[in-house]
Chains A and B, each alone.
Chain A
Amino acid sequence: MTATAIEHGHEHDHAADDHHHTGEIDLPTYLEYTRRNRLGMWLFFASEAFLFLALLVTRFYLWRGPHGEVVRPELDQFAGLVVTAVLLLSSYFMNRAEVSIANDKRTDFLASLLITAALGTAFLVGVVVWEWGMFPGIVKGHLKPTDGVFGAVVFGMTGMHALHVLSGVVLILNVWWLGRKGHFSSERHWGVEACAIYWHYVDLVWIFFYPAIYLIGTTIEAPH
């Protein structure tokens, strides 16, 4: 290592520091960071997939009738259908938000985010009030968490998913608040993209959970 190299190294350091201190990085650097972030996000999804797979495995392992047949509990089919439709619809508006910011349509962007957050909240209310029966004064639920493996798995799966929806809604509202302050541009909106693919991912998980909980298997009756 020569003396020149060390000196050059110092120049290199200062240049990097200055860049960071201005708070704004140049576009090629931003795009490279975005590529890293994107890969990181997808690896995070891969990791989360194993969590949701474990819950699916649990469901198909435990929900077996006396002769090994696949069974499911009696649930409110209408509630399940409505919340599923609401969540699927929300993904459309999430996508619309992302497309809008990419085309610099700020009003559409902010409005779409709010609609997505509202639909997400509607989903949560549907699950918690309608299906769980958290407030028996409004709707009486079908199951309690302590009702054998039916209760355990229904509340385990919908609970873990609801937690993700809740974090998604919080993220969307945060992005909306930052967007109102003018934080994203058509070129630089990784925050919006991350929020959007996270939302679609949570939606995708429900596409597997909904049939597993509500549709697959026969309902069993208590022997009389």
Chain B
Amino acid sequence: MSKGRIPHWADVTLVPLTSVLLAFVISAILIWAIGESPWAAVKLMVEGAFGSSYGWGYTLFYATNFIFTGLAVAVAFQARLFNIGGEGQALLGGLGVALVCLYIPWPHWSLALIAASLGAAVFGAAWAFIPGYLQARRGSHIVITTIMFNFIAASLLGYFLVNVLRPQGAQDPSSPRFPAETALPKLHEILGVFGIPFSTVPPVNISLLVAVGMCFAVWFMLWRTRLGYQIRAFGESEPAAEYAGISPARITIYVMLISGALAGLMAVNSVMGEQQRLVLNAVEGAGFIGIAVALMGRNHPFGVFLAAMLFGFLYQGGAELALWTGIPRELIVVIQALVILFTGALDNMVRIPIARLFAMRGAR
């Protein structure tokens, strides 16, 4: 990568912004090609996502999911481990949340939140531990094992929902509703304390604050602790890290545990905060969106936060677009895919010209 030639500020702002812009330009051409007005579409998306506290609520709700899964991928990537098992880890996290909420009577949501977060993190971490262990001790490639574990997680969850958690006679393979005491306070209740009015409809809840807290925690862990230093050193060069006395196996397993725990925490938002019960396919691709979020956020917690907001906007704005125009849902998926394509796969297409630009300026 020609990273050295681009100033840091440009690397973290100019490159992703240009990529997003390019993705939007092509999306606009596509919308125009199917006979809709791109300008009206953009307006509808922005208004739908940010034009009201209702829109903000949904945008933030989706963003919360993507912060967790994005952080999970970002942490693993700091050690150059490509954890694409966020989907399965979050599913297992959901199982942890459900077990904690269903089988232990909680007097207050705050205790339930702490316990459910622990449950989600432990289950997610345990699911990431196995691929981590296999990578560290057996050399099985983490990309292969984590993606396979997504399917195993889906099967395991299907088994639990159909045979264990489903109330007898119920059609729907899902757990019973969690007790009312475990319902997390929604954002409008939190803001209501400060007298700020907010729409009561969207499912955005206190997990948003947990997610933001996790951004800080991950930043602190990576750049202010010994473990974080070891992770980054290991990621930059494995032989150098080993020479410095860092055990590759230990770091691999630790990183995967942290990554899996973060992915699992997503379930606190979606399962406990929104659905209030565990349903089939509770993650809905957020684990995979996390990869795009981490790529776009340059594997930095702050970048992950911003990228998660962008994807939250695409989800909510896209929903409004589907609701009020003739633009089919598939095209919204295409727009999201274009953003992923440009920020992830075609990164160098933007990076190299920008690097040249800076090189020319430097030469002058």
Tell whether A pairs with B: no
